[in-house]
Structure formats: structure tokens, C-alpha cells
Amino acid sequence: MFKQGKLSREAMLAVVKKALPTHRYQHTLGVLETAVQLAERYGADVERAEAAAIFHDYAKYRPEDEMRRLIETREEVPDDILDYNKELWHAFVGAYLVQHEVGLVDQQVVDAIRYHTTGRPCMNLLEKVVYLADYIEPGRDFPGVDEVRQKAGQDLNQAVGMALKRTIRFLEEKGEKVYPLTRAAYADISDKKEESDGHTGSAKSGGGQC
């Protein structure tokens, strides 16, 4: 079972509050609330969901040159993200920093932070919960988000698939490159939906081999 060690929920929030402007901290609280709700509904570890939600944007406002340096010099951070939108950087850098600055080393939590913007193939339950919570938290207001919120109350995989599809479409319409993990994540979860619809895989587990 995940143990937060010396960091209580309140202590984790205090750390993050110092790293974020007020509006982003409010977003974090929304993601936290939503992640806990999704974790409870779909059976994810609630304490891990709390920790990942609290720290998901830990590096969001780090200086660009600091993030670039970490991306270029740390093996744990893929350097190919430098070729994509800078909005992706904070997730990978944040996953590194929570380990080395905060001491939060639970691999499931770290991975949920790392992939909360891009997704990845074979996302586990916690990763889906945090990815979706970031997308649908109450402060989000953009076309289509209410449809994803509604689906999130019915089917986690389908809601994540909707979010990935809409993200890809949004980026393509802006003429921006889509990070390969995001396309692969959408293809993967779409394949699992087809398997589930055809009764060749479990809708809960996602079916397939990961």
C-alpha cells in the first residue's frame, strides 16, 4: 500500500501552493477533488490518486531554461519532448522533480504525474484517473468538456478515449504536432474498446496485452 511518508495531504498541498500561482493552485484543488471521486468510483488507490493529483503541475511554472536543462541532461526525461509544445514539458520534468526535491518516489504516483498530459499506451488505472481528472476538473470550461464529464461517470476508458481524441483534434486544428505517446494512447484505448464491444476483452481491465 502506498505510504506518503512524512508528507500528509496538507503538507503536500502546502508544498505545491508555494510553487503555483493562485489560479493554478485552484485548478490543482479541482483535480484533487475529481481524482478522488474517480478513484473511489473505479477502484483506484485513493491515496496515490491524491498525491499524483496534488503534484501533477508541480513543475508547471519552473523557468523554461531550467526545464530545458533537465530535459537535456536527465536520462529519466525524454529529450524528444523538446520538439513539441512546451506545455508537455512540465509533466515529465515534474515527475523527475517530485522524486528529487520532494522525496515522493512511489513509481505509480510518479508515472501518473509523468503521463498526465500525454497519456501513453497501456495506461494503468491510476494514470487514467489522473489524466481524466486534469481534463474534466470543475474549473475547466471548453467545448465538449461536459460530454466527457458525463461519460466519466459511466465508463472510465471511454471517457479517457474521448479526452484523447479531442486533444488530438484540438492540436491538429491548431497546426501543432501531436506527441507520439498521445496518438499511441488513443489507438491503444480505441483497440481496447473494440475488444470490449466484441466481448474479447474485459472492459474493466481494458483487455489486450500490456
| Nearest C-alpha neighbor of 30 from the set 149, 198, 207, 199 | 149
- DSSP string covering 36-54, please? HHHHHHHT--HHHHHHHHH
The pLDDT assigned to 201 comes to 36
Coil, helix or strand for 144? coil
Task: Check if the beta carbon of residue 113 is closer than 8 Å to that of residue 91.
Answer: yes
Task: Check if the beta carbon of residue 206 is closer than 8 Å to that of residue 192.
Answer: yes
The pLDDT assigned to 162 comes to 97
Q: pTM of the entire structure?
A: 0.91
Mean pLDDT by 10 residues, the chain (210 residues): 71 97 98 98 97 98 98 96 97 98 96 98 98 97 95 97 97 97 97 60 40
Phi/psi of residue 186, each to 5°?
Answer: -65, -40
The pLDDT assigned to 191 comes to 84
What confidence tens digit (pLDDT) does each residue in 141-194 have?
Answer: 999 999 999 999 999 999 999 999 999 999 999 999 999 999 999 999 998 766
Q: Domains of the chain by range and CATH?
A: 9-197 (1.10.3210.10)
Task: Check if the beta carbon of residue 44 is closer than 8 Å to that of residue 125.
Answer: yes
